[in-house]
Amino acid sequence: MKKPFIYITRKLPDDIVSDLRDEFYVEMWESEDVPVPREILLEKVKEANGLLTMLSDQINSEVFQHAPSLKIVANLAVGYDNIDIKSANKFKVAVCNTPDVLTDTTADLTFGLLLATARRLTEASEFVKSGEWTSWSPMLLAGTDVHHKTIGIFGMGKIGEAVAKRAKGFEMEIIYHNRSRKQNVEKDVGARYVEFEELLTHSDFLVCLAPLSPETKETFKKEQFAKMKKSSFFINAARGPIVNENDLYVALKNGLIKGAGLDVFDQEPINRDHQLLTLKNVVALPHIGSATVETRTKMMSVCVENVKRVLSDQKPITIVNEEWLTN
């Protein structure tokens, strides 16, 4: 009998892939860092029963239309804004993501980014490495305290909750805004639910952790930055398009806010000439929220397990489109 065909859109480690090869015929895009060209993806999905994808792949209705035998898209991320879920439902394809396994790792990075931004860590490291450190002075690279300040979390999902726990260790006041109240977080870490307006005006560190959706797109624009404290910092570890980058640039440049820590951008990779990268008060990272060897390995294993389960008619470990289960 012909083995089901799995197409993987990036080069993944051999041991992960060999686990699939026993049961499936597997093909993989040859590069680790260059996304699969669109025409190759569209060609491969014609025969594919399963797809293992990344955020850089746009899995839209065009892909589903080209894929008559496709049963599962396993996305190597908790976010799935690169996938058209309505089309997946229409074509009866399961969409699986990788929640939970990356929660703590992403929270560590988010809090680390907040610290790096407040305490000017990347600037300070550059200062030492470039040989500029020739004397001590009282206010040399003086940053801003994090402990005892107010952290405002926009998007209180699992990662938000894990960031709140870390903030509690720094004895911060924790406020949050979310589509729904999270009583457990209020009880466990003493977080306080506030209206969006209060989140803007009251936070010393405004941390964006909401998923990208039509509702959250460009939540942070000129008006919102204008309402924030001049001494505040904006941290984004969610998705770039939640912020209007030009407005953020103007806010940072004109001192409407004090600094920004960004792990995500509108266009990734961000162009090296982008205006945000010219600012000293910006710490920029290349979307590495979940990037530890341990966590990326777990995320890949979740994808592999989901592919195996769906193609043997079992319930996957994680599912984005619950509707698929009842189809």
List of residues contacting ligand 8YV (CB under 6 A):
54-55, 76-79, 102, 287, 289-290
CB of 305 to ligand 8YV, least distance (A): 17
CA nearest 17: which of 34, 2, 35, 32?
Answer: 32
Query: b vs e for 195-210, b when ≥16 Cβ sit within 10 Å of the residue's Cβ?
Result: eeeebbebbbbbbbbb
CA-to-CA dists, residue 130 to 55, 134, 143, 157, angstroms: 35, 11, 20, 40
Of the pair 75, 203, the CB lying nearest ligand 8YV is at: 75
> Residue with structure tokens 């995500």?
264
Distance in angstroms (rounded) separating the CA atoms of residues 327 and 315? 12
CB of 289 to ligand 8YV, least distance (A): 5
Active site residue 195: no
Query: What is the phi/psi pair of residue 10, to 5°?
Result: -145, 160
Of the pair 55, 70, the CB lying nearest ligand 8YV is at: 55
For residue 171, count other CB atoms closer than 10 A to its CB.
Answer: 10
Of the pair 99, 152, the CB lying nearest ligand 8YV is at: 99
Give the angle subtended at the CA of 34 by the CAs of 29 and 36, to the nearest 5°: 40
CA-based R_g, the chain, Å: 22
- Does a cis peptide bond (omega within 30 degrees of 0) precede residue 211? no
Catalytic hit among 10, 177, 239, 309: 239
CB of 307 to ligand 8YV, least distance (A): 16
CB of 83 to ligand 8YV, least distance (A): 11
CB of 145 to ligand 8YV, least distance (A): 29
The answer for 233, left when phi > 0, alpha when psi is -120 to 50, beta otherwise, is beta
Amino acid at 14: D
CB of 299 to ligand 8YV, least distance (A): 6
CA-to-CA dists, residue 64 to 87, 90, 98, 165, 308, angstroms: 7, 9, 21, 40, 20
Catalytic hit among 10, 120, 287, 309: 287
Active site residue 268: yes
Active site residue 202: no
> Residue with structure tokens 């509690």?
168
Of the pair 76, 94, the CB lying nearest ligand 8YV is at: 76
Of the pair 55, 113, the CB lying nearest ligand 8YV is at: 55
The residues, any chain, with a CB within 8 Å of residue 281's CB and separated by 6 or more, are: 252, 258, 259, 260
Q: Which residues are catalytic?
A: 239, 268, 287
